[in-house]
């Protein structure tokens, strides 16, 4: 743990972003939680949030790294 924060910021890493083989797999694996009491579909509500968050994460990554493309 002593060296955990001693990382090099000048080192380039390669990140490959691609569509997953199964869309929203985490929702399928976890299923509807017992605490979900809404009359709205859990999968539909969380699916919208999942897709929005995924898009924003990709957009943010590409904005921050567009000079490296």
Q: What is the pLDDT, as a whole number, of residue 18?
A: 78
Q: What is the pLDDT, as a whole number, of residue 41?
A: 92
DSSP sequence for the chain: -TTTT---SS----------SSTTHHHHHH-S-TT---SS-HHHHHHHHHHHHHHHHHHHHHHHTGGG-
Structural domain boundaries of the chain? 25-68
Structure confidence by residue, pLDDT tens digits, 17-68: 777 788 888 888 888 899 999 999 998 999 899 889 988 988 888 888 776 5
| pTM for the structure as a whole | 0.58
């Amino acid at each position: 743990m002593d060296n955990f924060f001693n990382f090099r910021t000048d080192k380039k890493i390669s990140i490959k972003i691609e569509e997953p083989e199964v869309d929203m797999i985490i929702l399928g694996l976890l299923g509807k939680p017992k605490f979900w009491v809404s009359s709205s579909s859990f999968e539909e509500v969380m699916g919208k949030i999942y897709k929005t968050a995924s898009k924003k994460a990709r957009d943010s990554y590409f904005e921050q790294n567009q000079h490296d493309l």
